[in-house]
Amino acid sequence: MIAVSFVAVLTARLVLGDWQLTDALIPVLMIAAFPLVEWIIHVTVLHWRPRHLGPLTLDSELARKHRAHHTDPRDVPLIFIPPKSLTLTIAALTAIAFLAFPRPELGLTFLLTITTLGILYEWTHYLIHTDYKPKHAPYRAIWRNHRHHHYKNEHYWFTVTTANTADRLLHTAPDPTTVPTSPTARHLHSG
């Protein structure tokens, strides 16, 4: 779905043209912010603890699927954003693109950048959870940190596409040798 969105948005963006300096600024700002946004989503949305409001339980599909992903990190369907949640996300981002930006072309640049980042995120996350062994140091660092998050302690190493950029900033990238192995890394919120 992300790839189809990417192709549609790229086509529309190329057809509309009208390239301006702000079309270069949007990707730069989004790429700079992405590690922090990724960290915030991972901590607040994916690691959401179910909450009870009277007879109602507040627990999103993303949080439920992420708990299942921690239980079985190699289950391929659980590696990816669930289709229902992804559909809603694409719709919300499309609405933002056309309501929050002063020109439709700039909104499309936003969508083009976010779909590119989405593909990068999903591909990186997929490779981390397969038998692929990283060949280059930068990706090895990303691979190792995310595996620490799953197999060492779920309270640290939240970034997936960078080598702890937001984790260092927000103090969730300790030396792994100083962190105890969590008994709940595979079963979130069970302790």
Largest pairwise CA distance in the chain:
55
Strand partners, 52: 57
pLDDT at res. 163: 84
> Would you say 85 and 46 are in contact if contact means Cβ atoms under 8 Å apart?
no
SS3 51: strand
14: in domain: yes
Q: Is residue 150 part of a domain?
A: yes
Q: How do residues 135-151 score in pLDDT, each as one tens digit?
A: 999 999 999 999 999 99
The C-alpha atoms of residue 110 and residue 95 are separated, in whole angstroms, by: 11
Would residue 121 count as lying in a domain?
yes
Helix (DSSP H) and strand (DSSP E) numbers for the chain: 8, 2
43 backbone φψ class: left, alpha, beta (φ>0; ψ -120 to 50): alpha
Is the pLDDT score of 47 beyond 90? yes
> Do the domain assignments include residue 46?
yes
Domain, as residue range, for 61 = 2-178
- 178's CB contacts (< 8 A; 6+ apart) are none
Cβ(25)–Cβ(158) below 8 Å: no
Domain count, the chain: 1
* pLDDT at position 190: 73
Burial class (CB in 10 A: 0-12, 13-18, 19+), 55: exposed
Q: Kindly state whether residue 75 falls inside one of the protein's structural domains.
A: yes
Query: Is 173 contained in some domain?
Result: yes
Q: At what angle are helices 104-128 and 22-40 packed, to 10 degrees?
A: 40
Q: What integer is the mean pLDDT of 91-120?
A: 97
Residue 168 domain-assigned (yes or no):
yes
According to the model, what pLDDT value does residue 191 have? 58
* 191 in any annotated domain: no
